[in-house]
A and B are shown apart, each in its own frame.
Chain A
Amino acid sequence: MSSKVSRETFIRSIADLLRKAEIELPDDVVDALRKAEAAEENPVAKFQLQAILKNIEIAKKHEVPMCQDTGIMIFFAEIGTEFQPGFDLEAAIREAVILATAEIPLRPNAVDPLTRKNSGNNTGAGIPDIHWKFVPGNQLKITAAPKGAGSENMSSLRMFNPTEAGSIKNFVLETVVNAGGMPCPPLTIGVGIGGSFDAAARLAKEALLEPLDALMEGLEREILEAVNALGIGCMGLGGSTTALSVHMKTAHCHTASLPVAVNIQCWANRHASVVFRGEE
């Protein structure tokens, strides 16, 4: 038994998904930016937030990527245990990235880490970066989350001692202060706590996909308030909106460790999802 979706349709859908992610922000992100603009009292910051909102409109109207850093291609896939694609999904996603790069177009960003040679089509060893998760059912959900370097470069990971949970908040604040205006605030901050060295980073990245209007729990809210009290503001020029939201994800970890990862996202918290249904 195979899925209803053909390889060609799948490639077309993924290329369209990338187009959507690059051109249009999710509603919850735009709403959060509008609220920030309305609440901001610092004139320089307000001015910048207005430019951001105007840019979002222009990108949508002209159907061009909202930011020239169209990111490195990251996908999160949730595949139902009963979903049978009938073709090589990873190869098809790679083909869709090459297609999208040429037709949207996207800036070719993927380079060899040492020679710095650009592949020219946003693919390369390990790129696109695809994370698979098995879920029950016969659907395949794919989320495209292209990630810019300005914010990614400001992210941080630290292996704390198990008794240092009280230092997590300060670690996030330190990361935000060191980043200043460089990651294009207002930020979304993803915090991954526990797991292992790499699992913490993955949790932090997944936390960035949480809806911005989702309820923030105690420590999340506490960190957000402390971050916004720092006065870094939109683009690091001062103001009260340094971050739009903070979301945490946790996993059990070794009794002797406490990994904490802080993944920083710029105001352009780009992501879009598509669902493919398998045979009934």
Chain B
Amino acid sequence: MEYHLQTPLKIEDIEKLNAGDIVYISGEILTARDEAHARILEMEEKREELPFSLEGAVIYHCGPLMQQTESGWKAISAGPTTSGRMSKMTPLLLKAHGVRAIIGKGGMKGVADAMKKRCVYLAYTGGCAALAAELIKEVKAVHWLDLGMPEAVWVLRVEEFGPLIVGIDAKGKDIFAEVREKAQKQLKSRSKARKA
């Protein structure tokens, strides 16, 4: 199935998605990677208020290449970064905030449970950064630029951002885990055959 979604996302928007479906997103998305995740959790612990809202939010694991022009920031190249680095911090983030979708690449080990009935993981083709930049229509704001260009939180207005593939749905199905388990099984039987 193919879906075209508008942000902010409602729980009903994502509950209907199945792993393998294709999704396009329009509206606002926020970039966040290692340092931004760490800071969000740190502020959470100190009960400080974030400078942006994560209710119904779409987080994009991306450290974009931006250029400052006379009319403001422009996205030059902005593909997804490896989501695996955020795996440990994500369940805590999902618990505290209403994040409804995470866009990234490579999947996230051990977060399918935390995503159930809350959030979906949308895979965007890694490295396809020139393609992604074309779909970013406006850089609306930037937070935490002190973390450096890649690690800052960029608020982006996107149109038909995709194609995204539902890698982990809100029902616990995780395509990456299935592919990984199959490969691991094959590796194991190969080592057994070698030892025999």
Contacts and interface: CB of A to CB of B under 8 A. Distances in A.
Contacts of B92: none
Interface string B154-196: 0000000001010100000001101110111011001100100
Interface in B97-147: 105-107, 123, 125-134
Contacts of A237: 123, 165, 167, 175-176, 179
B49 to A, nearest CB: 25
A105 B182 CA distance: 41
Binding site secondary structure of chain A: loop
Contacts of B128: 51-52, 54-55, 67
Interface stretch (B10-18, B40-48, B79-87): B79-87
A182 B84 CA distance: 7
Contact of A68 (B35, B65, B148): B65
Given A69-B63, A173-B190, A180-B106, A266 B148 contact: no
Q: How large is the interface on A (under 10, 10 to 19, 20 to 34, 35 or more residues)?
A: 35 or more
Interface in A56-78: 58-59, 62, 64-70
Contact of A70 (B65, B126, B186): B65
A87 interface: no
A64 B130 contact: yes
B70 to A, nearest CB: 15
Contacts, number: 168
B23 interface: no
B106 to A, nearest CB: 4
22 contacts: A47-B165, A51-B163, A55-B125, A58-B134, A64-B133, A65-B76, A68-B63, A68-B133, A69-B129, A107-B65, A108-B150, A150-B106, A170-B190, A177-B187, A180-B180, A181-B106, A181-B107, A230-B187, A235-B123, A237-B176, A237-B179, A238-B178
